[in-house]
Structure 1
Amino acid sequence: MHFVETRLAKLARAGDRDAFEELVQLYKDKIYHLAYRMLGNRQEAEDAVQETFLRVYMNLERYDEQQKFSTWIFRIGTNLCIDRLRKKKPNYSLDAELPEGEGGDWYSMLPSEDATPEDRVIVSETQRQIHRAIETMPDKYKSVVILKYLQDMSLQEIGEVLDMPVTTVKTRVHRGREFLRQQLEKLDSGK
């Protein structure tokens, strides 16, 4: 896959519109999911996807073929989302009343592509709580947690995307999980 994307990026850089369109098709859903989880709003996520691809297109000549295209595009998308989060003031309350639900391992509750409708109903309430908890996370933890558990990236890949040492990524994933655990425990105890 890495080879295919590099070839497409080279063709796109040379002005091949079909090659660029193929890159868009490969990544638009992944970038949308990333943006939606980070921004918590469909319209903003769609805007972030468009802006990501616009930046990719404008900066194709800067793409370094030695690195994975996925790393490069996720870096652009993540940085855009972080910029958007910085610009908007938080409008949530940590003490907002949320319906009770079971705790457990929060990331195992995230929607799976092949979940049955029954599974979705059972976990949908918990998922809603998890997503709300993710929205309340400090930005520095939010991006690593989303890349790790929703994009299924390795610590190494996250380090490359966010341009930070793997040790920092590991610490932030740990603290992010701890933050979410505390938020979900608050919900379970009805605080």
Structure 2
Amino acid sequence: MQPCSPLSRTVPEAPPVWLASSQEPVRPGATPQEDEWVRSARAGDPEAFGELVRLHQRRVWGLCSRFFAQRSEVEDAAQQTFLTAWSKLHTYRARAPFEHWLTRVCLRCCYRELRRRPAATEPLETASAVASRPTGDACARVDADRLLARLPPADRFLLVLLESFGLSTAEVAERLGWSRVNVKVRAHRARRRLRTLAGLPESSR
């Protein structure tokens, strides 16, 4: 039986606003201390997992804040990320940094939550990133915030990763556990829907 979750006493009510919007990791890489916490947490030590929560809570909050506009939504997504990580910690393999595994858990939690929400919920910062891309595409001349809010949640989620985070197809596939072909097909459909909403002609490409 899993020990009680340590999250209630380790996840803060909310980090500072400037911190929540950061895309940068809190630190450049794993340390021997973190490796020890991971090993202890996998063995069922809630105190060790609490240290991992404290170490990564800022980055997780920042990731969640890119997908949800309301503070309560960000809090819920961050909390769910750590709850899921705690229950799935036995699946972590040390071949990759713990931070990468936790990022994947976080993105999947955000994706599941977005799929339960109506298309009216607007993600943060995504629209401005799409609109400011120096591609010359006519999509940069429309109200991207309004249009993206009307896309299905899965489409919005994918465009956040590709346009706002600037991830490559391969990076998105790795983080979500999707094939590259699946990412390419979904991205193409999402951009086509965005153009349709904007009343723009189909791309000749």
Asked if these proteins are the same fold (TM beyond 0.5), I'd say yes
CA deviation after TM superposition for structure 1 residue 105, in Å:
5.4
Structure 2: any 5+ residue segments left out of the alignment? 1-27, 122-127, 135-139, 201-205
Q: Normalising by the residue count of structure 1, what TM-score does the alignment of the two structures yield?
A: 0.61
1:14-163 equivalence runs, <5 A: 14=43, 15=45, 17=47, 20-21=50-51, 23-91=52-120, 106=131, 108=133, 129-163=143-177
Q: CA deviation at 1:63?
A: 0.9
- Percent identity over the alignment is 26
Question: Structure 1 residue 165 and structure 2 residue 195: aligned?
Answer: no
Q: C-alpha separation between the residues in 2 aligned to 1:170 and 1:69?
A: 27
Gap change, CA 1:178 and 1:91, over 3 Å in 2: closer
C-alpha separation in 2, matches of 1:159 and 1:171: 12
- SS at the partner of 1:38? coil
Change (3 A) 1:19 1:80: closer
**How many residue pairs were aligned?**
157
Structure 1 stretches of 5 or more lacking a match? 93-102, 110-125, 187-191
Runs of 4+ in 1 over 6 A off after TM superposition: none
The two structures, once aligned, show a CA RMSD in angstroms of 3.6
- Which is further off, 61-70 or 83-92? 83-92
Q: Which has the higher contact order (CA 8 A, sep 6+)?
A: 1
Structure 1's 184 and 17: CA in aligned 2 closer, same or farther, altered over 3 A?
farther
State how far apart, in whole Å, the 1-side matches of 2:179 and 2:172 are. Answer: 9
What is the rounded CA distance, in whole Å, between the counterparts of 2:176 and 2:161 in structure 1?
10
CA gap of 1:45–1:16, structure 2 versus 1, over 3 A, is: closer
Alignment of 1:1-20 (within 5 A): 1=28, 3-4=30-31, 7=35, 8-14=37-43, 15=45, 17=47, 20=50
Judged with a 3 Å threshold, the aligned counterparts in structure 2 of structure 1 residues 158 and 68 are, in CA distance, closer, same or farther, namely: farther
Distance 1:164 1:50, change over 3 A: same
Distance in 2, Cα, partners of 1:40 & 1:183 = 22
For normalisation by structure 2, the TM-score amounts to: 0.57
Secondary structure class of the residue paired with 1:54:
helix
Cα distance change on mapping 1:26 and 1:135 into 2, 3 Å: farther
| Deviations 1:103-155, CA, capped at 9 Å, x for gaps | 9952549xxxxxxxxxxxxxxxx9xx534433322222222222233334332
